[in-house]
Structure formats: structure tokens, C-alpha cells
Amino acid sequence: MLKIDFWNIVFTVINLLVLYLAMKKFLIGPITGIMEKRKELIESQLAHAAETEQAALQLKSDYEKDLGNAKEESVRIVDKARSDAKAEYDRIVKDADAKASDIIAKANKTVEMQKQKTLQEMENEITGLALAAAAKIMNDKQDNDTALYNKFLAKAGDANDTAGN
Amino acid sequence: MEAFVEELLEELECEVMFEIPIGNGVSIPVLESVVVTWIIMAVLIILSKILVRNLTIENPGKKQLALEAGIGFLYDFFHGLLGEHGKRYIPYMMTVIIYVGVANIIGLFGFKPPTKDMNVTIALALMSIILVELAGIQKKGVKGWVKSFAEPVAMVAPINVLEVFIRPLSLCMRLFGNVLGAFVVMELIKLCIPVFVPAVFSCYFDIFDGLIQAYVFVFLTSLFIKEAIE
């Protein structure tokens, strides 16, 4: 019990060292190793999750940006369509104005022509009337004077021209 | 009464199990404590081999979880005492607490606890103090380690040097005394009242005191190491 024996101290030291190595190799090493590995696994999974979240957020912001761009684009398209329509409208109205004034001008011309034609007809009729009147006068006076007739005709025509104009 | 005392002394004596002849008629006696230590080692190694089989990273079984919880508890305990720099000493401290713990309670299985033999506690204390001083040398270098004896003032150097011997002595004697005392008390109780009562007291003297002494031993050794590597 109280007997100190050098060799047995040496044996115990050797025993302890052997036990230390054996425990380290067979018990503590494998278990701490596996705990360490699990910790690493969990950490890597967490890191992966964080990465994925980052990517998702990136995608989301991209989509939001795209959406904003699309809105701007649509506004731009509508504006362009509106301005195009306005230009087209203006062009059509201008065309219509031009056509209308064309038509009016033509109508005026037609009216003028009609008037000329009517005047011509009236002149012819007056000539007929004058002839008839002259014939009646010749019958009355037996005076078949062509010179007198022409003189009258010239006079009557001049008088008629003056009245017409 | 005479017979009683003789019987008690017989129980206390650490027997020589066998002798290793080294020639010239001289032989090395191998004590019971060393043989029991071999038995403990064998049991621990076989148990480790059996328990550590089929460890998995994912979905560990109940057995593995219990094992991990136990080793993890010890690891955290020593990590807390030794700090990050003393991490390399953790496996040794774990080995010692397992060995001393088992050695202290092996009386329950009818063996004489090896820690009842002073040779074993001397060996344990020697290894502890060597580890402490080696840790100090490793951390500070030989010069720094020598200088550290003169800290905080040169005056205390003799006391610091003395500490190198006092520390292992106190470690060794505390463990030895506690286990021996517990053993003697248990033997007395067994001799007086052999039924039931020893079982009750055994819970305290063998299990509680045994584990507490194992804890105290490694706790103090860890503190000394921590102090040496600071």
C-alpha cells in the first residue's frame, strides 16, 4: 500500500501512455472527428443556403428592374402611337381641306361656264327675235334692205352686250 | 479483534501478482494495481472498439448520440478550462478522467482500485506535472519557462520552484488518500454489517467520491496547464 516501487511507477506510466494513445485512436479521435465533420457539413449547408438566397434576391431585383423597364417601354409605345395618330389625323384633315377647295374651285368654274352658255343661248334667241322682228318689218314696209337689217343687228347686239355686262 | 485488524491489513496490502525475472536471481514484482490497470485498459479499448463502430454523420443512432453527448461534454469541459491554445492536451485529460473514474469505481466489481496503490497515483501526478511543465516550455521556450519562475517578483522564485514538487505531491496524495480512505471505510463496513448497508455507503464512497476525485484530479491538472500556457 505505502510501498513505493520504481518499476510499478514505470509500468503505470507506460500503461497510461498506451491507454492515452489507444483512447485517442479508438474513442476520442473518431468521435470528435465525426462531430467535426457534421459541424462542417452543417456549416457548408448554411453557407449554401445563404448563397442560394443571395442568388434569389439578385434574380428578384433583376425581375423588378425588367418590370420597370417594361412599364417605361409601354408608356413610350403609347406615346409614339398617339403622336403617329395625331400626324395621320392632321394629314387627312389637310388632304380633305385641299380636296374640298378643289371641288369648290371646280364648281365655280362649272357655274361660270354655265353662265357663259346661258348668255350665248340668250344671244342666239335675241338674234332669232330680231330676225323675226326684221322679217315683220320687211313684210310691213316691203323694204328688204339687208344693210338696214345688219345695222339694226349690230345695234341690237351692242345694246344687248352692254346690258349683259 | 486481532483477526479483524489482520484481515483489514490484508485487504489494504497491494499484492504482488507475479514477478518478471531479469536474470541474476533478481526479478521485477508486478503489483495488483498494474494488473487491474491492464484489465481496465483492455475493457476500455474493447468497449471503444465496439461503441465506435458504424458511426455516421447523418442520422446517428441513440448509441452514437449518447456517446457523442458524453465525449462532447468532456471535450467542452476541458476546452473551457484549457482554452483554444490548450486544445492539444484535451485527449490526454479525457483519457485520465476516464481512467481515474473507472479505476475509482472498479471496487464495485470486486477489484482493488488501482488508485488505492500509491505507485499509480505517483505515476499519474508525475505525468501531470511533466505535462504542465512541458506545456509551459512549449509555449514560452526554455528561457521563458525559466524566467516564469521569477514572476511576478524574483523573491517568490523559491516558492515557485517548490510548487513544481508540491503540486504533483498534493495531486498524488489527495487521490490516494481519498480512495484509500474510502476503501478502508468500505472494508470496515463490510466486515461489520455485510448486508445492505455496504451497498448504500458504496454509492457515496465508491461512486460519488470516486468520480469527484477523478474530476478534481483532471480539473487541477487542467488549471495548472492553463496557467503554464498563459
Instruction: Reduce the secondary structure of chain A to three states and give it as a string.
Output: CCCCCHHHHHHHHHHHHHHHHHHHHHHHHHHHHHHHHHHHHHHHHHHHHHHHHHHHHHHHHHHHHHHHHHHHHHHHHHHHHHHHHHHHHHHHHHHHHHHHHHHHHHHHHHHHHHHHHHHHHHHHHHHHHHHHHHHHHHHHHCCCCHHHHHHHHHHHHHHHHHHHC
Q: Return the percentage of chain B with pLDDT > 90, whole number.
A: 30
Q: Do B126 and A13 touch (CB under 8 A)?
A: yes
Compute the nearest-CA separation of A41 from chain B (Å). 9
Nearest CA in chain A to B73: A32
Compute the nearest-CA separation of B29 from chain A (Å). 8
Q: Which amino acid is at A66?
A: D
Q: Measured between CB atoms, does A42 come within 8 Å of chain B?
A: no
pLDDT of A144 strictly over 70: no
Whole-prediction pTM value? 0.70
Average pLDDT over chain B, rounded to whole?
A: 87
Q: Do B124 and A24 touch (CB under 8 A)?
A: no
Mean predicted confidence (pLDDT) in A79-102:
95
Q: Cβ(B154)–Cβ(A43) under 8 Å? A: no
User: What is the ipTM metric for this complex?
Assistant: 0.86
Nearest CA in chain A to B173: A2
A&B contacts, CB < 8 Å: 115
Mean predicted confidence (pLDDT) in B180-184:
85
Nearest CA in chain A to B131: A17
CA distance B117 to A9: 10
Mean predicted confidence (pLDDT) in A13-33:
90
B113 cis-preceded (ω within 30 degrees of 0): no
Q: Which of A127-136, B22-31, B146-155 has the lowest mean pLDDT?
A: B22-31
**Which pLDDT score, from 0 to 100, does residue A143 have?**
56
Most confident of A27-36, A76-85, A152-161: A76-85
Q: Domain range for residue B212?
A: 2-229
**Which pLDDT score, from 0 to 100, does residue A80 have?**
95
Q: Are strands B16-21 and B27-31 parallel, antiparallel or unpaired?
A: antiparallel
Q: Do B31 and A8 touch (CB under 8 A)?
A: yes
Q: Which amino acid is at B106?
A: I
Nearest CA in chain B to A33: B57
Q: Do B12 and A22 touch (CB under 8 A)?
A: no
Contact list in A for residue B41 (CB cut-off 8 A) is: 15, 18-19, 22
Contact list in A for residue B94 (CB cut-off 8 A) is: 23, 28
Query: What is the dihedral sign for C-alpha B163, B165, B167, B173?
Result: negative
- For B:27-56, CB contacts with A below 8 A are 28-31, 33-34, 37-38, 41, 44-45, 48-49, 51-52, 55-56
Domain count, chain B: 1
CA distance A35 to B196: 43
pLDDT of A145 strictly over 80: no
Locate the DSSP E strands across chain B: 16-21, 27-31
**Rg of chain A taking only CA atoms, in angstroms:** 63
Q: Which of B22, B84, B42, B161 is nearest to A18 (CA)?
A: B42
The minimal CB distance from B52 to the residues A4, A27, A38 is found for: A27
C-alpha to C-alpha distances, B214 to A31, A34, A44, B17, B104, nearest whole angstrom: 22, 27, 38, 26, 8
pLDDT of A53 strictly over 70: yes
pLDDT of A165 strictly over 70: no
Q: Return the percentage of chain A with pLDDT > 90, whole number.
A: 59
Q: Count the Cβ atoms, other than its own, within 10 Å of residue B10.
A: 10
Contact list in A for residue B46 (CB cut-off 8 A) is: none
In the block, residue with C-alpha cell 513505493? A4
**Which pLDDT score, from 0 to 100, does residue B29 have?**
83
